[in-house]
Amino acid sequence: MLNIFSKESKATKKAKLLIKETELVLQKNRSKILPDAISIVEQRVGNLKRALEAQNHQDILKTTEDLEIASSDYLSKYKKSKLRQNIEALAFAIILALIIRTFVFQPFKIPSGSMIPNLLVGDHLLVNKFVYGTKIPFTDIEILPLEKIKRGDVIVFTYPNNEKDPSKNGLYYIKRVIGLPGDDIDLNGRNLVINGEEVPIEYIGNYSDERNSEQFDEYREDLFGEEHTVIFRKGKENTNRGSYIPVTKVPKGHVFVMGDNRDNSQDSRFWGFVPIENIAGKAFLIHWSWDFGNPDIVNKVRWDRILSGID
């Protein structure tokens, strides 16, 4: 058995690749190549194949060289240059990346603490762009949704209230869906009230913000079967209702969103409902996390958060 790092093994690999490339050029361009040239090239392909079958190293080297010469003499104008191959590969990679970013996944970085304790400043997320369905740009073709928007989903969306603050036009936000179209929403102290039913919360303990050591009360919130944690400032029994709560009815085609850091989040309580058409997608994975505030360069990466899901 040949050592994969031996000269014989490398020569065999090179020969097989040359045969494959030569036969592909012949197959694609047979009608354009002179019959005599085809005959010469095919004869030398056959010689190289027989040398490979016999596993004669010297014959493999000689017949490989013979085929390279014939290929250069008769097929060179039908082959793509290395530069062209590299350009095409780069163009394909760019187009593929654009397609993936446009239709499949989009990266997003957490810029603020509004989603603490579940998402930290410096978390880098992947957002599923087609899970709720989407329309192919410049067409009327719609990609069917894989699932419906649910209470508790963490979504990325563009700022919805551009007429009041044009400076935020196109700015991306990330929040949790609290209310769906038709929902009534109110707050009772720290408890959400949706359609007249109080959302249960259970006190877990203290939470310390790693950025400034500010202390919070941490709760587990059960949003009708979707559980996640939320925090509130200590000593503040009632969270801010903003100007949009109580909500008598979330409008059709919109959702009501809030941050998990309930006393430190600009959300639907303050600037209103998010049109479903503004939603870029559902956040589902933390692929990288960087603690900007940590002075220790070794510990800036939050290794325990990498490739973790989002509750």
Of the candidates 71, 114, 268, 289, the residue annotated as catalytic is 114
Of the candidates 175, 268, 282, 289, the residue annotated as catalytic is 175
Q: Is 175 a catalytic site residue?
A: yes
Q: Is 164 a catalytic site residue?
A: no
Across the chain, the runs of DSSP E, i.e. the strands, are: 105-109, 123-128, 134-135, 142-143, 154-158, 172-179, 185-188, 191-194, 197-198, 201-208, 215-223, 226-233, 254-258, 274-275, 279-289, 308-309
CA 308 – CA 287 distance, rounded (Å): 7
**Spatial CA neighbour of 275 closest among 159, 169, 166:** 159
What residues have CB less than 8 Å from 2, skipping those under 6 apart? 8, 9, 12
Residue 250 Cα to chain centre, angstroms: 30
CA 156 – CA 108 distance, rounded (Å): 8
Please say whether the beta carbons of 264 and 250 come within 8 A: no
Terminal C-alpha separation, the chain: 52
Known catalytic residues? 114, 175
